[in-house]
Chains A and B, each alone.
Chain A
């Protein structure tokens, strides 16, 4: 069916998407790189001067940069651990014969559809608030001292919120993958004398590996850019305790109006994301060629 004519029209049909995406990627990217070498104050336009690597120097030596990188990575690793391990557990449980599976599934995946700002405020006020939150009420009922989650353990609290949002995603995907596992394989393994643990380790887990890869990939894309949850709960604080790279750059450029340093931060964020991405794309690229 692939005739000359259809090839030409195919190219014509693909090009709008490609050109738009290319423009969307390249134009801002070049501008970011360009700005990162300028002293550029948003409040006094027209005074831009070339400053070489100053912005990078400033951004990289800023003590909050270290915190931000550590927070970004710890959130990534923390949430991935919770969601992947939790997701496998949830998926295995939800796959067992039980009454009301459909309804439970709907309940479990619901948090994924909650917009980030709602999720942030919900946890901050209704649950983690040291006076009125559900957790505080429960601790008091048992005679304990309420814990100030966002004051004492802001980053762990945010990891908890984000995990709550993404655990459903991992569960849903792993459950779908689990349901495509050939039952006869498991029965064959059982006949071969494999215990439940053996079956999980040698058959179920390898079968899920592709889905796990995908979960890690997709979540990484989103987790590196967590923003709204921080904005509505801690504003990055106390200090820089809950600032990640995305939030730090936002503060630099749109709150402190320092476009130059913000752009340098942007370039560094891109480089960091690419290091993660190259690593991930290798994995996925292989997995996508079935």
Chain B
């Protein structure tokens, strides 16, 4: 059906989109390049930087900073913890809303969406004080909870749209086939919902990993994740471009890779299922 397109036209298109892609990606590309340079090479003019020698010393330096691993593991714990906890609470809710919709289901969903409209800064002080008074300030538990709460509406929405797509017929067939509720969930619902669960999980890990309002404001030393670690480079001493680059590459690499894998599902998650 599609008309054939001339090779020349296709070549022009290709050139245009590659320029676009490379321009958008250039800052990240540059970050990666600088991370493999010495500090004195890293501040030279772009051409000279490319010509200079390669080294792993910045990665060594960052890794030698005794606390790097602590920041990294805080990020992992906070991102995974808040995601799993969120799923635990959201799965039943989304299941119920998708398969036993009531008159108010739509309202509840929209209300959940509207809670995302509450600017975090509006509740910063109370949360800060509550956390201070309950000893949750600068703890991983505290951050897990906060990030779980801010992402909960997204998790519920995303799961809801995935569950909605499972035909009710199939669940009824399972019921006719003699499956109890437990078996229905185990053998039919879960396998069918697994792709949706996985992409919900992925998106929320990404969002939690990159969250930089609460993680910066509610941590100081003990529970600070990578966002805060990188922020500590904002008041530099001496030459630091290469080390900053190495630290940044390590901080963004896992998420970059996860993000690329989940780009399709990402759209749905980020748009609350409105765009598929």
Chain A residues packing against B (C-beta within 8 Å): 1-2, 6-7, 9-11, 13-14, 16-18, 20-21, 24-25, 27-29, 31-32, 35, 90, 93-94, 96-101, 103-118, 120-127, 131-132, 134, 137-138, 140-141, 164, 167-169, 172-173, 176-177, 180, 183, 187, 210-211, 214-215, 218, 221, 224-225, 227-228, 231-233, 245-246, 249-250, 253-254, 259, 262-263, 265-267, 269-270, 273-274, 276-277, 280-281, 284-285, 287-288
Contacts and interface: CB of A to CB of B under 8 A. Distances in A.
B107 to A, nearest CB: 10
Contact of B256 (A113, A120, A180): A113
B125 A253 contact: yes
Contacts of A254: 124, 128, 217
Contacts of A126: 27, 30-31, 34, 241, 245
A276 B2 CA distance: 43
Given A107-B22, A176-B267, A277-B117, A210 B110 contact: no
B195 interface: no
Q: Secondary structure at chain A's binding surface: helix, strand, loop or mixed?
A: helix
Residue of B125, B263, B272 with most chain A CB atoms under a 10 A cut-off = B125
A20 B108 CA distance: 13
Given A24-B115, A266-B121, A32 B126 contact: yes
A274 B172 contact: no
A265 B119 CA distance: 11
Residue of B95, B210, B256, B258 with most chain A CB atoms under a 10 A cut-off = B210
A32 B113 CA distance: 21
B56 interface: no
Contacts of A259: 125, 129
Q: Please tell me the size bucket of the interface on B.
A: 35 or more
11 contacts: A31-B129, A117-B212, A121-B244, A125-B241, A134-B30, A164-B27, A172-B267, A228-B216, A250-B121, A254-B124, A277-B117
B121 to A, nearest CB: 4
Interface of B: 1-2, 5, 9-10, 13-14, 16-18, 20-22, 24-25, 27-28, 30-31, 34, 43-46, 89-90, 92-93, 95-97, 99-100, 102, 108, 110, 112-130, 149, 152-153, 156, 168, 171-172, 175, 206, 209-210, 212-213, 216-217, 226-228, 230-231, 233-234, 236, 241, 244-245, 248, 251-252, 255-256, 258-260, 263-264, 266-267, 270-272, 274-276
B112 to A, nearest CB: 6
Nearest to B210: A115
A209 to B, nearest CB: 11
Given A93-B13, A132-B241, A137-B44, 4 more contacts: A10-B99, A110-B259, A113-B206, A176-B264
A270 B25 CA distance: 35
Nearest to B267: A176
A284 B47 CA distance: 48
A16 B24 contact: no
A108 B20 contact: yes
A6 B100 contact: yes
Contact of B117 (A31, A267, A273): A273
A267 B256 contact: no
A266 B25 contact: no
A176 B13 CA distance: 19
A111 B27 contact: yes
Contact of B108 (A18, A121, A187): A18
A177 B275 contact: yes
A98 B15 CA distance: 8
Nearest to B132: A42
A35 B122 CA distance: 11
A113 B25 CA distance: 11
A111 B28 contact: yes
A2 B100 contact: yes
B5 to A, nearest CB: 5
A127 B230 CA distance: 17
A168 B270 CA distance: 12
B210 A113 contact: yes
B212 A227 contact: yes
Given A110-B24, A259-B125, A98 B17 contact: yes
A176 B274 CA distance: 11
A14 B122 contact: no
A263 B126 CA distance: 9
B124 A250 contact: yes
Given A29-B122, A134-B30, A137-B46, A1 B172 contact: yes
